[in-house]
């Protein structure tokens, strides 16, 4: 399972919302009691107790169901601002933990450099 979404970093309208450009996210937390959307999923940083944003409504319903069914998801934010800076949106890639670990692993030096980086 692999999914990508863009969501609001201002889910609750607070000014404390922060996000980072590339940040391993350890928790996608369903919020069934959220007054704005019973299917909302908050995105939390690896360390911290405040959400950095929310999964958009189009993906949140499916992701909250998968999490409730016991699926293990790891996530990486792909878009945002610098650490500690307020931002309006973030993009999150969620997949099985082994897939995210592979994406974040260093490229083997034995492989040729991608043409786009030459």
Q: In sequence order, what DSSP letters do the residues of 45-112 get, joined into one string?
A: -SS-SS--EE--HHHHHHHHHHHHTT---EEEEEE--STT---SEEEEEEE-HHHHHHHHSPPPTTSP
* Residue 63: inside a domain: no
Predicted confidence at residue 23, as pLDDT, reads 52
* Residue 20: inside a domain: yes
φ and ψ at 116, to 5 degrees? -70, -15
The tally of domains found in the chain comes to: 1
**Residue 17: domain span:** 1-54+81-103
Identify the top-confidence range among 30-39, 77-86, 100-109. 30-39
The Cα–Cα gap between 1 and 38 comes to 23
Sheet holding 40-44, edge to edge: 27-31, 40-44, 53-54
**Best CA proximity match to 53, nearest among 16, 22, 97, 24:** 16
* Residue 21: inside a domain: yes
Task: Quote the DSSP letter at residue 32.
Answer: T
What confidence tens digit (pLDDT) does each residue in 61-93 have? Answer: 998 999 999 988 888 877 666 556 666 667 778
* Residue 95: inside a domain: yes
The Cα–Cα gap between 80 and 1 comes to 23
What confidence tens digit (pLDDT) does each residue in 42-55 have? Answer: 888 777 787 877 88
């Amino acid at each position: 399972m692999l999914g990508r979404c863009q969501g609001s970093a201002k889910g609750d309208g607070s000014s404390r919302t922060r996000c980072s450009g590339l940040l391993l996210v350890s928790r996608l937390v369903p919020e069934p009691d959220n007054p704005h959307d019973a299917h909302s999923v908050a995105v939390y940083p690896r360390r911290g107790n405040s959400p950095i944003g929310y999964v958009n409504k189009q993906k949140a319903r499916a992701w909250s169901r998968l999490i409730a069914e016991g699926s293990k998801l790891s996530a990486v934010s792909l878009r945002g601002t610098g650490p500690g800076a307020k931002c309006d949106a973030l993009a999150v890639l969620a997949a099985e933990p082994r897939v995210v670990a592979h994406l974040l692993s260093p490229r083997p030096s034995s492989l040729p450099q991608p043409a786009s980086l030459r």
